[in-house]
Amino acid sequence: SEKNTFDESMLFKNNKLFYIDQYRNYFRNISMITDCVACEKCKLWSKLEFIGLATALKIVLTSDTNKCLTTIQRNEII
C-alpha cells in the first residue's frame, strides 16, 4: 500500500538545515574516529560504508537532485 512507503519530504520537515549540519558533523566525527582504528581492513570498510551513507543522505536531502548529481565527487560515486 502507498501509506507504508518512505516519504523523503517528511524527513527533517522542521528546521531541515539544522539537521543536515548536525548529521554532517556526526559523519565527520565518526570518520575521524575510524582513523584511529588499527586494522587497515576495518578502517577501509568503515570509511566506504560511511561515505555511502553520507552520499545517500546528500542525494535524499538535497532539494535539487539534478544539481546534486552533477556535484558528486568520484569517491562518492564509487
* Residue 68 annotated among the catalytic residues of the structure: no
Amino acid, single-letter form, for residue 12: F
Catalytic residue among 42, 53, 56, 60: 42
Amino acid, single-letter form, for residue 64: D
Nearest to 35 by CA among 26, 44, 27: 44
| Cα angle, residue 24 at apex, residues 20 and 26 outer, rounded to 5° | 115
Catalytic residue among 17, 39, 77, 78: 39
* Residue 36 annotated among the catalytic residues of the structure: no
**Hey, which residues are catalytic here?**
39, 42
